[in-house]
Amino acid sequence: MTTPTIIYTHTDEAPALATYSLLPIVRAYAATAGVTIETRDISLAGRILAAFPERLGENQRVPDALAELQALTSSPDANIIKLPNISASVPQLRAAVAELQAQGYAVPDYPENPSSAEEHDVRSRYDAVKGSAVNPVLRQGNSDRRVPPPVKNYARAHPHWMGAWSPDSKTAVASMDDDDFRHTERSVVVADAGTLRIVLATDDGESSVLADGVAVEAGEIVDAAVMRVDALKRFVAAQVARAKDAGVLFSVHLKATMMKVSDPIIFGHVIRAFFPATFARYGEALAAAGLDPADGLASIFDGLASSPGGQEIRASFDDEAARGPRLAMVDSARGITNLHLPNSVIIDASMPPMIRSSGHMWGPDGEEADTLAVIPDSSYADVYRVFVDDCRVNGALDPATMGSVPNVGLMAQAAEEYGSHDTTFEVPSGGTVRVVDPSGATLLEQPVSHGDIFRVCRTTDVAVRDWVRLAVRRARATGDPAVFWLDETRPHDVELIRKVEAVLAEEDTGGLTLEVMAPAAATATSLERIRRGKNTISVTGNVLRDYLTDLFPIMEVGTSAKMLSVVPLLEGGALFETGAGGSAPKHVQQLVEENFLRWDSLGELLALAASLALLAEKAGNPRAAVLAAALDRATERVLTEMKSPGRRVGAIDNRGSHFFLARYWAQELAGQTDDLALAAAFSGIAKALADDEEAIVDELLSVQGSPVELGGYYRPDPGRAAAVMRPSPTFNAILETLGTEPGTPPA
């Protein structure tokens, strides 16, 4: 990059729409410091189009932006702001493909059961797009997530609602106590770099290679674990009966987006266990119609509408649902249940709101109720179990007084479970799965039965070492104790503990409090401390990083979108993430129906300020530092002056919040004394935005209340989206004058 450049990702849904409003402001202001803002399209639609260039016209082809960014992460100059993107389930992938085809893109259908070489090729390309195709590629570093002081100060001064807990609450967390990934896990540290094979030796004497050329580095931790499906079926059936007997809602909480191979399979088994009579009677007919429970009830019900005998089968589903426990709902008014879509109840986005809401989820009657939260694999379920039990005894947390639990997360180089997609398999027949090194020696093995879910996970030594050193830096910078959430009874964690101890022995840890605790104990300790207003750094693996950076912030500041999320890349650059996008689909629906976008871009503002500050340091650009500091002050004013997006028509929405951000940012720049030329450049803009505030707000509010047409959900028409998201001619005209008035500093 020849000029100081920040890469801003174009993603999906509400974050992408908000970008149409925010990015013109960011580009105009950054240009005054000579900083260029470039975009890269890593949306689901963009990734699909990039996967099939030979099927598209020359003017339809798009570059493989994700591959470009992957290469950029190896540069010390990398400065990437990454917005939330869709981690596509199969139903979402099919919907995106259908939309692109309707828009004239000749991308192929998703082959459910590929039979030809061409179909296998198409399927492999789509498999590389679905699920968590983005995050493991870009996260070439470990994670530093924390609530910034302005956000924390605001939450304490304006505590958000927290539901009251009753000591008599029946809400509970259920997980398997044997035969799951946690209890079958085996681990080994690889001595030498090389490639591994994963081989299935069947009971009838046959042998097949499930995966070959699995690259590993010296010192890498390799795990092999299996979810035994017979045990899973028994467990879920028992929980269905338990929920019925207890009179509570039944819900299942998985991660079918990031764990795109294993968790949809588990989700399908949950549906079968909830409707055993229906599948016993009609299972073959459903399979013949291509209706897979792994895709969710919505897909099945849609397919039954046009299938022979579909009305009879649907009636069986409805009858069995009426006789079973009440299902937790995603949308009671529309009849969308917990089992409708594999990606509509994502554990890290669904468990915290339940805990925040008195341990309740919504029932079919539209009322809140106690819930049995079913988390089949027990690896991290204790975190939620301890949290629920603590709230039942001690009541809800208090945002006005509670401390904080920032996180240092091990995620570099697709660490742990989130890097297991290519080495996770639904076992086709009983036997033994072996992980074999280049010499033919068996490193790990697992007995398996037909339908079991087998997976291999890997964690590189360089990722672990960087993670430990990052934890030490954060502990020293804050003075807070740091707890490594590792379980000495779990094989993977045993190997991690050895590496942690070795790295800590090399570091200067004088005066620091560094401890190792199993997740249950670490949760209890963190809760005890935050109730006293104390901070505790959680130092965790990849999945717990994901879970905790939603769980604690949702209690602390109302949303994980208000966290500062920095990924110091291994090669010296940085990736800045901007919060979770789990609520994005509902926000788009509201925009389309009412021309109101309640998405909050706060995470982007926090990330942008940190990004500009890093650029200022690396490029020796003091003006970028001035922009960053002024942006932080402006962001705090957006919070304290209540200019965040409202929830309903009539309030300012995302676009109005962006206007006030631009106004306060200009005001802060005009009033600062570190760069007088920059102050002069923004004085006119600041005055114009202040003088025309009433007119601009009126223009922004006047468009609300009517439906809008975006020209697509997964790939909106850029012109239509820009028109919807920039509806104030007055604001747009003022912004365009920046850089054209006398006194503007050169870029």
The pLDDT confidence band at residue 371, using thresholds 50, 70 and 90, is very high
- Section 99-123 average pLDDT: 95
User: pLDDT tens across 229-270, in order?
Assistant: 999 999 999 999 999 999 999 999 999 888 989 999 999 999
Q: What does the pLDDT read at residue 537?
A: 98
Question: Strand 360-362 and strand 407-409: pairing?
Answer: unpaired
Query: pLDDT tens for residues 207-222?
Result: 999 999 999 999 999 9
Q: Is the confidence at residue 686, as pLDDT, over 80?
A: yes
pLDDT for 653 beyond 80 = yes
Does the structure show a pLDDT above 70 at 582?
no
Query: Does the pLDDT at position 742 exceed 80?
Result: no
**Is 271 a residue whose pLDDT tops 80?**
yes
- 10 Å CB burial of residue 697 (0-12, 13-18, 19+) is middle
pLDDT tens digits for 129-144? 987 788 888 988 999 9
Strand 453-459 to 221-227 pairing: antiparallel
- The predicted pLDDT at position 89 comes to 83
Residue 741 has pLDDT above 70, yes or no: no
Q: 48 falls in which pLDDT band (50, 70, 90)?
A: very high
pLDDT at site 738: 85
Q: Is 13 a residue whose pLDDT tops 90? A: yes
- Residue 180 pLDDT grade (very low, low, confident, very high; cuts 50, 70, 90): very high
| Per-residue pLDDT at 739 | 59
Residue type, 70: Q
Spell out the residues 6+ positions from residue 111 whose beta carbon is closer than 8 angstroms to its own: 119, 120, 122, 123, 126
Query: Is the pLDDT confidence value at 638 over 70?
Result: yes
pLDDT bracket for residue 580 (50, 70, 90): low
Strands 249-252 and 368-374: parallel
Query: Which tokens belong to 432?
Result: 């033994």
Q: Looking at this protein, which amino acid is placed at residue 449?
A: S
Collapse the DSSP code of 365 into the 3-class scheme (helix H, G, I; strand E, B; otherwise coil) and give the result: coil
- Burial class for 721, CB neighbours closer than 10 Å (0-12, 13-18, 19+): buried
Over residues 135-158, mean pLDDT? 90
Main-chain dihedrals φ then ψ at residue 485, nearest 5 degrees: -85, 80
Question: What is the chain's length?
Answer: 747
DSSP 141-200: B-EEEE--HHHHHHHHHSPPP-PPPPTT---EEE--SSSSHHHH-EEEE-SS-EEEEEEE
| Mean pLDDT, all residues of the chain | 94
Q: Identify the pLDDT of residue 1.
A: 42
Read off the pLDDT of each residue in 155-178 and give the average, rounded to a whole number. 96
Residue among 704, 630, 699, 693 at smallest CA distance from 667 = 630
Query: Which parts of 221-357 are beta strand (E)?
Result: 221-227, 249-252, 329-331, 336-337
Domain locations in the chain as residue ranges? 228-394
Instruction: Label residue 206 exposed, middle or buried (CB < 10 Å: 0-12, 13-18, 19+).
Output: exposed
Distances (CA, A) of 335 to 254, 273, 297, 409, 544: 20, 20, 11, 37, 32
> Does the pLDDT of residue 593 top 60, yes or no?
yes
* Per-residue pLDDT reduced to its tens digit, 549-579: 999 999 999 988 788 889 999 989 999 998 6
Residue 312's contacts (CB-CB under 8 Å, 6 or more residues apart) are: none
Cα distances from 665 to residues 516, 627, 629, in angstroms, run 43, 8, 10
Token reading at 49: 């189009």
Nearest residue to 181 (alpha-carbon basis) of 223, 234, 212: 223
